Amino acid sequence: MANVKTKKGVIGILTGGGDVPGLNPAIRAVTIRALREGYQVIGIRRGWAGAISILREEKADNSENYQILTEEIVNRAGRTGGTFLHTSRTNPSSIAKSSVPVHLQDKYQNEKNDLTDEVVKNLDFLGIDYIIPIGGDDTLSFGVKLYKKGVRVIAIPKTMDNDVPGTDYCIGFSTCVSRTIEMTNRLRTSAGSHERFLVLEVFGRYAGFTAMLPTMAGAANRCVIPEYKFNMECLTELMVADRNKNPSKYSVVLVSEGAMFEGGEMIFQTATTDAFGHAKLGGIGDVVSAEIKDLSAKYNNGKTINVVNQRLGYLVRGGDPDAIDSIVPMAYGNLALDLILQGIHGRLVVLKNGRYDNLPLDVVTASKKTVNIDRYYNRERLRPNYESFEMRPLFIMTSE
């Protein structure tokens, strides 16, 4: 083994997928509690990429692949955004030939290679008793695969899209919603000054939660989401009507990056895909902006309405976490340690109906979490429904 075990054992932790505010507080929570309970904590760097790259030699330099975590390290980073362990979208079960670590290239020469067994061996080499991946459904789906291989896995859900099945809340979502509201309110002054439409593209590949909640909170007049193919003429007519009702003569729509209009499909920036088979989305906001500008005269007495068009992108995932994304990661980290202290593994820590809990890990791959449009979305008005709020959780929509 590369490291001498402490009295109770060794816990590994990693972050995968997109960065969000709240990752560092989660790492801090796990580490502080684990150290005080007598465990050693190893931070795997760059998500699953670090886990496949470890050199299983006693004197090898693995500083790029993992580090021993201390209270000093995690306290310094714990209140900041992003992840100091870094991240990647690496899928060890599908590694391109060009991405196979140098020391493994003689062994793995296919165009796509499954390095799952190497990850298992590497975790064993480090003496890791439990691994805690923090990520979205892609990162955690590989955690499910490891668990089925006999690795003790406890997962923490993270994604600003809030679309990990089984939990009502994923780390990063609250800050994303807060930032979206803030940015929309900043940009509405320009839209109002020039009497324009304001079109904002927000994250959300398959689920429209990041467009729905800010709209529900009053940041926008309308939102279009991946769960429902919208009619461009309908959107334009509604936006013109909203603008005419507004004394400042502007209206706002939030557009999920995965939204599709009738007769159209998802719009991608590139044809290449990541290790999980996802092409990079982006551009639906540009299409919506151009189309509603062209159609606006039809519903505005022959006069064209110009557009302020902005893709919020990384602006909503950067910076420090808000209060919720400081508190929930702390709780999730301690929930993970509660399970470890009980000898329990193969679980996903969750928030359900305002209560912290845990569920079987394979809930991550058992279904997809999307907006229930029958319950929460008004198809005719292209906006959330405002009804039946009694006994709903903090963020209204759950993982039903």
Element spanning 112, H or E? strand 112-113
Percent of the chain beyond pLDDT 90? 87
Angle between helices 232-245 and 284-299 (to 10 degrees): 70
Q: Is the dihedral of CA 74, 77, 82, 84 positive or negative?
A: negative
74 domain-assigned: yes
Q: Can you name the residues that pair with 273 across neighbouring β-strands?
A: 279
What is the average per-residue pLDDT within 135-143?
A: 95
Q: Do 137 and 185 belong to one domain?
A: no
| pLDDT tens figures, 68-121 | 999 999 999 988 999 999 999 999 999 999 999 999 999 999 999 999 999 999
Residue with tokens 């309110």: 185
What are the structure tokens assigned to 122, written together? 């590497």
Q: Answer yes or no: 161 catalytic.
A: yes
| pLDDT tens figures, 157-213 | 999 999 999 999 999 999 999 999 999 999 999 999 999 999 999 999 899 999 999
187 domain-assigned: yes
CA distance 350 to 68: 27
What are the structure tokens assigned to 346, written together? 């193969």
104 domain-assigned: yes
DSSP string, 254-293: EEETT--BTT----EEEEEE-TTSPEEE--HHHHHHHHHH
Q: Which of 129, 137, 161, 325 is catalytic?
A: 161
Q: Does residue 272 have a pLDDT over 60?
A: no
* 67 touches 45 (CB < 8 A): yes
Q: Do 338 and 231 belong to one domain?
A: no
Helix segments in 149-231, DSSP class H: 173-194, 209-216
Of the candidates 18, 159, 172, which has an alpha carbon nearest to the alpha carbon of residue 88? 18
Q: Can you name the residues that pair with 11 across neighbouring β-strands?
A: 41, 130
Q: Do 360 and 339 belong to one domain?
A: yes
What is the average pLDDT value for the chain, to the nearest integer? 93
Parent domain of 155: 9-171+321-366
What are the structure tokens assigned to 190, written together? 């320009």
CA distance 47 to 64: 12
CA distance 65 to 12: 12
Per-residue pLDDT, 264: 75
Of the candidates 176, 259, 250, 190, which has an alpha carbon nearest to the alpha carbon of residue 220? 250
Q: Do 53 and 183 belong to one domain?
A: no
Q: Do 31 and 66 belong to one domain?
A: yes
Q: Do 28 and 166 belong to one domain?
A: yes
Confidence band for 263, pLDDT divided at 50, 70 and 90: confident
* 219 touches 312 (CB < 8 A): no
* 168 touches 222 (CB < 8 A): no
Angle between helices 137-148 and 116-125 (to 10 degrees): 70
Q: Do 240 and 343 belong to one domain?
A: no
Q: Does residue 271 have a pLDDT over 80?
A: no
Q: Do 72 and 159 belong to one domain?
A: yes
111 domain-assigned: yes
The CA-based angle 188-190-193, given to 5 degrees, is 105
For 101, counting Cβ atoms within 10 Å of its Cβ (0-12 exposed, 13-18 middle, 19+ buried), the class is middle
Domain of 206, CATH number, reads 3.40.50.460
Of the candidates 23, 13, 79, which has an alpha carbon nearest to the alpha carbon of residue 51? 13
Per-residue pLDDT, 388: 82
Q: Do 69 and 154 belong to one domain?
A: yes
Of the candidates 174, 147, 135, which has an alpha carbon nearest to the alpha carbon of residue 49? 135
Domain of 71, CATH number, reads 3.40.50.450
Element spanning 51, H or E? helix 48-53
Q: Do 131 and 239 belong to one domain?
A: no
Q: Do 277 and 200 belong to one domain?
A: yes
Q: Can you name the residues that pair with 14 across neighbouring β-strands?
A: 133
99 domain-assigned: yes
191 domain-assigned: yes
What are the structure tokens assigned to 384, written together? 């959330």
1 domain-assigned: no
Q: Does residue 1 have a pLDDT over 90?
A: no
Percent of the chain beyond pLDDT 70? 94
Total number of domains constituting the chain: 2
397 domain-assigned: no
What is the average per-residue pLDDT within 248-277?
A: 79
Q: Do 167 and 264 belong to one domain?
A: no
